[in-house]
Amino acid sequence: MKKIEMTIECPSCKGTGLYQGMAEGNEVAVVCKDCGGTGAFKYSYSYNEFTGRKTKKGVKRVYLTGGTYRIGTGVINYDGIGPVNMDIEGVSYKEFLEGKMPKHIEKLGCPMLLDQSACHSIKGFTDRCNKLHGGWLSWIPDCKNRKNSSECWKIFNKGKTQ
């Protein structure tokens, strides 16, 4: 375990040692409670130096996410989706340790539900998403195109390879 200790400018009072908030009137301040009026803040951080990825006991399969669903192994029958064989989704833990990364379980939702930040990084994706919905989409689970998310996945996967 390594430890870093340093003295930094107090982030609460910006190094002044003083605080002015709603209760302090014009031309008055109180002593900053975080630094005791010194303007300096003693910061300490402990960490373990990275020496390589460790193994985790009891893991058989690895997935990117379950989205809004509980995930496990075997065939799981999801309401509104049907059966999903989780043993062919994701990757085995051994494959993960060898560097293989899992793909999204497309049956569990659309790209916006499972990887919204990636959707925003694909040029034109969110505009296309709104168009498929029939207007501006403010709450993703209400998407009118949800039953046809395979079209969205085609656009998403094409955009990720470009």
- Mean pLDDT over 4-31 rounds to 94
Give the sign of the dihedral formed by CA 140, CA 124, CA 63, CA 72.
Answer: positive
Per-chain mean pLDDT for the chain:
92
What mean pLDDT comes out for the span 64-80? 92
With cut-offs at 50, 70 and 90, classify the pLDDT of residue 14.
Answer: very high
Task: Please give the average per-residue pLDDT across 87-105, as a whole number.
Answer: 97
**Residue 162 — very low, low, confident or very high, per pLDDT cuts 50/70/90?**
low
78 is written with which tokens? Answer: 């999801």
Q: Are 45 and 4 spatial neighbours (Cβ–Cβ below 8 Å)?
A: yes
